[in-house]
A = this chain, B = another copy of it.
Amino acid sequence: MATSNGVAASAVRAAGDVTHWDLEADVVVVGFGCAGACAAIEATEAGADVLVLERASGGGGTSAMSGGLIYMGGGTPVQQACGYEDSPEDMFNFLMAACGPQADEAKVQLLCAESVAHFHWLVVHGVPFKHSFYPEPFMEPPTDDCLVYSGGEDAYPFDRIAKPVPRAHKPQHPGAAGGFLMQKLVAATERSGARIMGDACCETLVVDRQRAVVGVIVRHAGQEHRLRARRGVVLAAGGFIQNREMVARYSPLLAKCSFKLGQDGDDGRAIRMAMGAGADIIRMDAGEVAIPLTPPRRLMRGILVNRAGQRFINEDTYYGRVGQECLFRQDGRMYLILDNAIYERNLAGMRASHVEASVGDLERSLGLPNGALVTTVEFYNRAAAREEDPLFHKNPAMLQPLVNPPYAAIDCSTDQTLWATFTLGGLHTRPTGAVLDPDGAVIPGLYAAGRTTSGIAAYGYVSGISLADGTFFGRQAGRKAASTAR
Chain A residues proximal to chain B, CB less than 8 Å: 8-11, 14, 101-102, 209, 211, 245-246, 248-250, 252-253, 271-272, 275-276, 278, 280-285, 308-312, 328-330, 369-372, 375, 379, 382-383, 388, 390-392, 428, 437-441, 458
Contact = CB atoms under 8 A, between A and B. Distances in A.
Given A276-B278, A278-B275, A209 B14 contact: yes
Given A390-B370, A440-B245, A275 B285 contact: no
- Quick one: which of A246, A310, A438 has the most chain B CB within 10 A? A438
A267 to B, nearest CB: 11
Contacts of A284: 284-285
23 contacts: A8-B441, A9-B439, A10-B437, A10-B438, A10-B439, A11-B437, A11-B439, A102-B252, A249-B428, A250-B282, A250-B283, A271-B438, A272-B439, A275-B280, A275-B437, A276-B437, A281-B281, A308-B312, A369-B390, A369-B391, A370-B383, A370-B390, A372-B390
Nearest to A436: B249
Contacts of A209: 14
The number of times this chain is found in the oligomer is 2
A440 to B, nearest CB: 7
A332 to B, nearest CB: 11
A369 B393 CA distance: 10
A456 to B, nearest CB: 15
A276 B436 CA distance: 12
Contacts of A278: 10, 275-276
A227 B150 CA distance: 57
B252 A101 contact: yes
A208 to B, nearest CB: 11
Contact of A371 (B8, B245, B308, B382): B382
Contacts of A272: 438-439
A445 to B, nearest CB: 16
A271 to B, nearest CB: 7
A222 B172 CA distance: 66
Nearest to A388: B370
A271 B280 CA distance: 11
A375 B375 contact: yes
Given A252-B458, A276-B437, 10 more contacts: A11-B211, A101-B253, A246-B438, A249-B283, A271-B438, A275-B275, A276-B278, A308-B392, A372-B391, A375-B379
Nearest to A273: B438
Given A250-B282, A375-B375, A8 B439 contact: yes
A431 to B, nearest CB: 16
Nearest to A277: B278
B9 A438 contact: yes
B249 A391 contact: no
A304 to B, nearest CB: 13
Contacts of A281: 281
Contacts of A438: 9-10, 246, 271-272, 275-276
Contacts of A439: 8-11, 272
Contacts of A375: 375, 379
A211 B253 CA distance: 33
A317 to B, nearest CB: 14
Nearest to A382: B371
Contacts of A246: 438
- Quick one: which of A248, A249, A375 has the most chain B CB within 10 A? A249
Contacts of A370: 383, 388, 390
A311 to B, nearest CB: 8
Q: Which 6 A-B pairs have the closest CB atoms?
A: A369-B390, A102-B252, A329-B329, A8-B439, A272-B438, A285-B285
